[in-house]
Structure formats: C-alpha cells, structure tokens
C-alpha cells in the first residue's frame, strides 16, 4: 500500500494540527492530572490521524481483464443502473451505472477501458449529496469520454459530493490510456458515473460492492 500524492499536503497539515492538540492535551493532563481524559483525547487524536491517512491510501492491486472488458473505475457501491438520456456529449440514450464512494473507500479513479481520450471537460456546480438524482448533472464534476479500439465510446464522470470540494484528473484529449490505470482522484465522499452503450453487457447489479481496477463492470460488444 502507498499514499496518493494528493494526500501529502493534507496529511502534513493534519499531523501539525493534531500534534498541537496532543501537546495541549499533555499540558492539560499536567495541570489537572486526569489520566482518563488524557488517554481519551490521545485516542481521539490517533483515530483522526488514521482516518486522514487511510483516505489517501492506494492498495496494491493486480488487474486482469480481457480487451473488451469494462473495468470498475472506483471503489464503492453500485447505486444506479438505468437507461438515461445523455445530454452533454452523446445526446442519446445510454446505460448509466453509478458508484457511490463513501469517505472510507479508496478514492483513486481508474480508466474503465483502453483507448483514446476524445473529450474532457470540467464543470463547476453544486455540492448535493452524491446519491441525489441531480448530482450527475448539477454538481461539480468532470466528464471524460474514451473511444475503444472497436469504435465504441464510454463516458465517465467524477462527481463531487456534499463534502468533496476538489476533483483531480490527469488526462487530456487525444491521450492514449489503458484500462485500470489511474486517471484521477476525488477528495472525500463522491460518486463516479459510467455511461455505456445500450448493447453493453452488464455484470453488476444495484447494491453490489465493487473495487476499482478489480471488478468487471461489463463488456463492450
């Protein structure tokens, strides 16, 4: 396991703040002598630091997929599988699969297919809770479209939640990408949507707990 580069500054700041709190906790203990309070506050400091560090963790994973497989782009839970009208890029009907990422999930985002990036656009927006039906179109988000070697295109969106305030993405138009490789990161609770062709084979169902880079979402025809 390693720590994502997006977490370096935040972890350092958290360490400084929590160290100051723990120093104050020590002086409080020296003043009043309440061991139970000192231990309780010390435990709270350790738990807070652990939560910050684990949010930016990147576990070691070895993905294995076939060329037409659609790879899960994020850790989380499948909360939506439905046919929708996609209005930003395709302007036609697509199968939407939405994955909700809690603050305890790994927040690295990975390419769902190999191919060439055809479209990248960042949208400012609201910060509705990530499971809200309008979060896909109204929240802060990034839309990316990749064209597979077979000509099929897949659209995927990073969507900020009520807590998240920063979406990071590292791809550009005309860039060649490989399935399961990192394309971005979302800080704190959020959601990732996949917009797939109507004839795509779907291998997950609502309620499934999925892993980025490891779970097969489906297959392109």
Q: Tell me 139's DSSP state.
A: B
As a whole number, the mean pLDDT across the chain is: 91
- CA–CA separation, 206 and 22 (whole Å): 43
- CA–CA separation, 191 and 159 (whole Å): 5
57 beta partners: 3
Report pLDDT digits (tens) over 122-156: 998 765 655 555 556 667 889 999 999 999 999 99
Torsion of the alpha carbons at 155, 55, 202 and 61, rounded to the nearest 10: 100
Q: Which of 212, 204, 169, 217 is nearest to 70 (CA)?
A: 217
Give the DSSP H or E segment for 128.
none
Backbone dihedral region for residue 207 (phi beyond 0: left; psi -120 to 50: alpha; all else: beta): left
Report pLDDT digits (tens) over 114-126: 999 999 999 987 6
Please say whether the beta carbons of 164 and 135 come within 8 A: no
pLDDT above 80: residue 43: yes
Residue numbers annotated as active site: 190
Query: Angle at Cα 21 formed by Cα 15 and Cα 24, nearest 5°?
Result: 140
pTM of the model: 0.86
Which residue, chain included where needed, has tokens 């935040």?
10
Q: Which of 191, 217, 211 is nearest to 106 (CA)?
A: 211
């Amino acid at each position: 396991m390693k720590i994502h580069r997006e977490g370096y500054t935040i972890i350092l700041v958290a360490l400084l703040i929590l160290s100051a709190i723990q120093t104050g906790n020590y002086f409080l203990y020296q003043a009043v002598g309440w061991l139970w309070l000192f231990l309780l506050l010390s435990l709270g400091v350790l738990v807070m630091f652990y939560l910050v560090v684990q949010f930016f963790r990147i576990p070691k994973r070895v993905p294995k997929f076939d060329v037409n497989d659609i790879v899960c782009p994020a850790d989380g839970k499948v909360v939506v599988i439905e046919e929708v009208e996609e209005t930003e890029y395709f302007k036609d009907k697509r199968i939407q699969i939405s994955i909700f990422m809690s603050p305890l999930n790994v927040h690295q985002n990975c390419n769902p297919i190999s191919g060439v990036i055809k479209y990248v656009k960042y949208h400012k927006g609201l910060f509705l809770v990530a499971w809200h039906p309008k979060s896909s179109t109204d929240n802060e988000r990034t839309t990316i479209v990749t064209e597979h070697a077979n000509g099929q295109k897949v659209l995927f969106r990073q969507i900020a939640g009520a807590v998240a305030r920063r979406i990071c993405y590292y791809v550009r138009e005309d860039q060649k990408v490989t399935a399961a490789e990192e394309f971005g990161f979302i800080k704190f609770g959020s959601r990732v949507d996949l917009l797939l062709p109507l004839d795509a084979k779907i291998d997950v169902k609502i309620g499934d707990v999925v892993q980025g880079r490891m779970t097969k979402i489906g297959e392109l025809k």
